[in-house]
Structure 1
Amino acid sequence: MQATVSSKYQITIPAKLRKKFHLKPGMKLLFDEQASDLRAKPKHDFDLEAMRGALGAAKNFEPGKTSTQILRELRGYDRSSL
Structure 2
Amino acid sequence: MPTATVTSKGQITIPAAVRASLGLHAGDRVQFIELPDGNYELRPATSSVRTLKGFFGPWDGDPVTVEEMDAAIGDAVTDR
TM bracket, shorter-chain basis: 0.5 to 0.7
Q: Which residue of 1 aligns with 2:7?
A: 6
Distance in 2 of aligned mates of 1:38 and 1:3: 15
Distance in 2 of aligned mates of 1:20 and 1:33: 20
Aligned residue runs from structure 1 range 37-48, under 5 A: 37-47=39-49, 48=52
Q: Which residue of 1 aligns with 2:19?
A: 18
Structure with the larger strand share: 2
Q: Which residue of 1 aligns with 2:59?
A: 59
Distance in 2 of aligned mates of 1:6 and 1:40: 18
Q: CA RMSD in A?
A: 1.9
Identity over the aligned pairs, expressed in percent?
A: 34
Contact kept? 2:35, 2:41, Cα under 8 Å? no
Given the two structures, how large is their TM-score scaled by the length of structure 1?
0.53
Higher relative contact order (CA closer than 8 Å, sequence separation 6+): 2
Given the two structures, how large is their TM-score scaled by the length of structure 2?
0.54
